[in-house]
A and B are shown apart, each in its own frame.
Chain A
């Protein structure tokens, strides 16, 4: 995996982006966490969260001008969360905040001029970083302006409590120390000489003097870099209210400047870049998507005693209104993404780390192979993130480097090989034609599940389309693509391309969504159309009218997600058939049946959860136009129809109750279909499929074989081998034999007994280890 690509993928997932409140806060207070603490009545935790970002937490909790609240997404349905009032409640009920330890370890000295919010904040920030800080204030007390506020708004004891932090930190505060340009201990020049760096935070009034000879703006204020607060003198930084005047005073902006200045001075004294990696400093637009659709409207909790703020109970109730803001759009709709308990950004990192492991277990292998590659995450993601791209890339890389677990896709790839073998493949012109204007590609799954429909469709196309309709029985290679096996996929594409070329490059009509998608994406030279528009009931004498009362829910296969040509034409056909089909979701938001991406093989339990979740979306019978989807629903006991079951309904059977044929029967049906078509359409007598040994297998055992991915053909070959060679183990007590046979890296064991002219199969299992 390309590291840059991995970063891009991580960047696309916005789940870890700051929520709107934090993004709007110049200090990036984690208001979501603070509110969550309050919702659990944890005011101490709330205050600790606040103090984490704010150097003077108790003061700001009382007077913050709260730019966060106007951005709160709760206001999409009711009032914004009263974040400011909740902060105050934390200060009130959570104090005292955790004591701050003095920390002086560096030799450099910094002077801070101005004992307001900005200067004091900078002093605390610098002291925390280990610098010796001297703070100079012209007035008799620090934070003098704060003391002029109404006692009910900001009680004096709150100011004193926060100033204790300064004392704890060991900051030397000098009050009544008016810094002037004149000579003397408080002269600017002297300060500039004595200290390694200076922060000027003199308050809102423009400096009357030519301080330190710094460059001024046209308004007479110090020229300050808005990102770093640097001035024309490298050692001097400036900020606070003087930077914003004459705009209304903002306590949080002043404190933020103190923080930024402390960060800049630290960088300056350490010789680091002042500007690097500060893109996110201060308030910024919020990238986190939050779906507020369906959120119940709720008004803010009003405090009964407004001057002193919320009671504990009121604060808790108010905090419980928080949504809280999260994206997780993909996780909410995808069983796979939900299964691993996190979200794509983390998954991408896990998958990348998994690939980079040299020694030890690759713990994310199964996760990589479990994605259905269905594209639903991309369809719902505000940033078009694709887990399929990540997992496919990882799978391809695993196959290339020999790290793909051999058992992950082995069964599916062997099934694909069968579909590509002589037993199934065919490319013929219509009898009586030398060329084909069109060719029908039914796909291997319809051929496995409903071979009769393949014959009927082909007969219909031959009788309605001019210019000869050829037939191609083959596999498009989708399983190899999903398995990340590029070599096998390319081989399959080349094979299909040559079958198409051998028929004179006709347009293809396919009944399979996976074939359609594969051809569109990987063999763009082949013109391909879905089958559905070619089955207008007007042309189909056989089509039976459906009972009008019947309501079906339509399930789209995920392969052709969002492709109107396919999704629309299937709906048109249903309409023409007189079917009322209800939608399970908005167009393009279908889910996988658990077969996509070979989820079924890499993680059968998850595939069952995937199809069960879909099945439960509606009590109505499902109708779909993918044979695999239909069989997956049937496997799970959900009544489901293939659209062709309606087109070719004969009114007798109940096709929605047709069971999943299972892996073994699927292969048999494909082979039989070829023989039958050769006989019926082309009048050729192929060798009929006479099994060499006849088997009796109970339904229960068949289900076990299916689960263990053992084909009846594997069982037959094992018994055949044992009977031919006597290479078996006998149990004289039960009269049963136990035979083993190794084929394609798997050893099959079959317990059986002779039963008249056939064999009764009692059990079968397999392993991949070689035992010698």
Chain B
């Protein structure tokens, strides 16, 4: 379910509520008072954001741990 590898502006994935394809958009990831800008698939309607597994268990986890030790 990770976003398509090609940088297509439109994903084959649909928002369950709005039934529209997800598009790449700017989002903010925040933890323990720090914020980071990110580009992730999100619903243009309701704003539902997709956090893919590779991000959650990879970079995001690393940053979480680094921030926890700050």
Interface, chain A (partner B; CB < 8 A): 360-363, 365-366, 405-408, 708, 722, 725-734, 736-738, 740, 747, 749, 751, 763, 765-772
Please state if B51 and A747 are interface contacts (CB–CB under 8 Å).
yes
Partner of B51, one of A366, A726, A749, A763: A749
Chain B residues closer than 8 Å to A769, beta-carbon distance: 29-31, 60, 63-64
Please state if B16 and A361 are interface contacts (CB–CB under 8 Å).
no
Partner of B13, one of A408, A725, A730, A765: A730
**Assuming A405-B69, A730-B13, is B28 touching A772 (CB within 8 A)?**
yes
Chain A residues closer than 8 Å to B66, beta-carbon distance: 361
Please state if A729 and B13 are interface contacts (CB–CB under 8 Å).
yes
Please state if B53 and A749 are interface contacts (CB–CB under 8 Å).
yes
Chain B residues closer than 8 Å to A728, beta-carbon distance: 16-17
Q: How many A-B residue pairs have CB under 8 A?
A: 97
Q: Which residue of A lies closest to B19 (CB)?
A: A730
A168 to B7, CA, bound (A): 75
26 residue pairs bridging A and B, Cβ less than 8 Å apart = A360-B70, A361-B66, A362-B69, A366-B69, A406-B68, A407-B64, A726-B16, A727-B17, A727-B48, A729-B16, A729-B50, A730-B13, A730-B15, A731-B13, A734-B1, A736-B1, A751-B1, A765-B57, A767-B55, A767-B57, A768-B31, A768-B64, A769-B31, A769-B63, A771-B28, A771-B38
Chain B residues closer than 8 Å to A363, beta-carbon distance: 69
Chain B residues closer than 8 Å to A749, beta-carbon distance: 51, 53, 56
Q: Least Cβ distance of B65 to chain A in Å?
A: 7
Please state if A770 and B53 are interface contacts (CB–CB under 8 Å).
no
Please state if B15 and A767 are interface contacts (CB–CB under 8 Å).
no
Partner of B40, one of A766, A768, A771: A771
A53 to B22, CA, bound (A): 74
Please state if A767 and B69 are interface contacts (CB–CB under 8 Å).
no
Q: Which residue of B lies closest to A738 (CB)?
A: B1
Q: Least Cβ distance of B18 to chain A in Å?
A: 9
Chain A residues closer than 8 Å to B16, beta-carbon distance: 722, 726-730, 737
Max chain A C-beta neighbours (<10 A), residue from B17, B61, B68: B68
**Assuming A365-B69, A726-B17, A767-B56, is B49 touching A731 (CB within 8 A)?**
no
Please state if A365 and B68 are interface contacts (CB–CB under 8 Å).
yes
Q: Which residue of B lies closest to A762 (CB)?
A: B1
Please state if A361 and B70 are interface contacts (CB–CB under 8 Å).
yes
Report how many residues on chain B are interfacial, defined by Cβ distance under 8 Å.
34
Interface residues of B in 1-58 (CB under 8 A from A): 1, 12-17, 22, 27-32, 38, 40, 43, 48-51, 53, 55-57
- A interface, by DSSP: helix, strand, loop or mixed? mixed
Chain B residues closer than 8 Å to A406, beta-carbon distance: 32, 68
Q: Which residue of B lies closest to A747 (CB)?
A: B51
Please state if B70 and A765 are interface contacts (CB–CB under 8 Å).
no
Q: Least Cβ distance of A356 to chain B in Å?
A: 14
Q: Least Cβ distance of A715 to chain B in Å?
A: 14
A770 to B64, CA, bound (A): 10
Please state if A730 and B51 are interface contacts (CB–CB under 8 Å).
no
Q: Least Cβ distance of A765 to chain B in Å?
A: 5
Chain B residues closer than 8 Å to A722, beta-carbon distance: 16
Partner of B53, one of A730, A763, A772: A763
**Assuming A747-B51, A769-B29, A772-B49, is B68 touching A729 (CB within 8 A)?**
no
A728 to B63, CA, bound (A): 25
Partner of B70, one of A362, A738, A751, A768: A362
Please state if A766 and B56 are interface contacts (CB–CB under 8 Å).
yes
Q: Least Cβ distance of A707 to chain B in Å?
A: 11
Partner of B30, one of A360, A730, A737, A770: A770
Please state if B68 and A405 are interface contacts (CB–CB under 8 Å).
yes
Q: Which residue of B lies closest to A734 (CB)?
A: B1
Max chain A C-beta neighbours (<10 A), residue from B22, B40, B53, B63: B53
Q: Which residue of A lies closest to B18 (CB)?
A: A726
